[in-house]
Amino acid sequence: MASKLTDIEARSARPRDKLYRLSAGQGLTLAVTPSGAKYWQLRYRFAGKPKTYSVGVYPAIGVAEARAKASAARAHLLNGIDPSEHKRQAKLALRLSVARTFGDAAQRWVDHNTPRWKPATLEKVRQYLDKDLLPPLGKRPLANITPMELGFVVEKIEARKAFNVAKKTRQWLSAIFDYAIAKGLAEHNPAEKLGAVATVAPPSENHAHLSLDELPAFLHALDAYQGSPLTKGATWLALWTANRPGITRTLRWAELDLEDALWTIPKGRPGMKRGYAHLTPLPTQAVALLRDLHRLTGTYEFVFIGRNDPRKPMSDGAINAALKSMGYGGKQTAHGFRHLVSTALNDQGWESDWIERQLAHGDPDEIRGTYNKAQYLDQRRKMMQAWADYLDRIKLGTLHPVTAKKPGNRR
């Protein structure tokens, strides 16, 4: 009748002075300890030796479930597998899977690829990992990460309109899991289908800008502008340097070396795309303007101080408001000066690499070539001085911007 052990019998079993067992049949027993604890155990033989397999604790494991677990263990015996060893290996595998985190796999992947990456690529990978991936995923076991979880991570990046970052992130997530699979750290790649749910990036914003044949009238209007000399100066500086509007309006006196005619934008500067450092050569016209402005704002942090609070920079809409008052609203924007300058310099035959570096396109650390390590600084000094002189000649009416497209060999 012992094989018919019921849950009532198991529950009503009382402790004795010594451990005793109630048989549930086929080697399964319920061990009752003097303290009253009850354990399911399967007694069996493997390789000729008597062994005991722990099934679980009663009443967390009831009679029916204990029999089912014992039956599964006996199935392993029929296949020549020691159920106790199988259980031990399963626990070990579980502990290893928990220990194998995304952060660990990501670091191994970075270490593996570092010898073949350029320093700029390594820095970019580390930046994306530290900012977007390791905070939510670093301590997560690889085996527990799902495609949906990764999708949420990428969605947060897309939500801030960083679509290029999101694209790179998807690629690197997939590469990390592929590496983990190859190293036996993971069994599947939950990132491989992320492209199917990627948000389509909106079309690039069209920043209005003038054509070259519209330059003379615009330069005359800018020269005659009677508004704030700071707004006027910021507009000229944007046109002379082609720097981003957010960088121009927040120019700090500490970034300027007027003796060397150089504007140094430090790494990590707010407003600079991905925080890159950038060197901007200043034409003589810009240096003269800035020396004049120093008499107005030289005691403050910012060159172009705010109208209501000189401790803050000029508002981000000041230049566009000035352009609108000059009759160029919707025709020319602050950001559009970058397009205008790029078009003009390319049309004049200047070296495209110099133009791209002047516009701070791409990572400066990835720039390679036969030129000096200061990112074509000498070449860009010549180019931007020629550009400022070109604008002066147009303004004075001694040169037509269209008929003089290629003033000489610039290469």
DSSP β-bridge partners for residue 20: 32
Write down the catalytic residue from 269, 371, 393, 400. Answer: 371
Write down the catalytic residue from 335, 395, 400, 410. Answer: 335
The yes-or-no answer on residue 371 being catalytic is: yes
DSSP class of residue 400 equals: -
Tokens of 125: 């990978």
Closest C-alpha among 68, 53, 61, 72 to residue 7: 61
Q: How far apart are CA 46 and CA 86, in angstroms?
A: 13
Q: How far apart are CA 98 and CA 141, in angstroms?
A: 5
Closest C-alpha among 146, 168, 402, 400 to residue 274: 168
- Give residue 26's identity as a one-letter amino acid code: Q
Q: How far apart are CA 150 and CA 188, in angstroms?
A: 14
Write down the catalytic residue from 88, 361, 405, 406. Answer: 361
The yes-or-no answer on residue 170 being catalytic is: no
Query: Coil, helix or strand for 391?
Result: helix
Q: How far apart are CA 137 and CA 182, in angstroms?
A: 20
Are 301 and 252 within 8 A, CB to CB?
yes
The yes-or-no answer on residue 45 being catalytic is: no
The yes-or-no answer on residue 339 being catalytic is: no
The dihedral built from the CA positions of residue 211, 213, 215 and 217, taken in this order, carries a sign that is: negative
The yes-or-no answer on residue 335 being catalytic is: yes
The yes-or-no answer on residue 58 being catalytic is: no
Write down the catalytic residue from 244, 249, 339, 380. Answer: 244
Tokens of 179: 């590496």
Apex 80 CA angle, 92 and 88, nearest 5: 15
Quote the distance between the C-alpha of residue 189 and its chain's center. 20
Percent of residues in the chain assigned helix, strand, coil, to nearest 5 = 55, 10, 35
Q: How far apart are CA 97 and CA 143, in angstroms?
A: 6
Are 302 and 256 within 8 A, CB to CB?
no
CA dihedral 179, 183, 185, 190 (to 10 degrees): 30
Positions annotated as catalytic residues are 244, 273, 335, 338, 361, 371
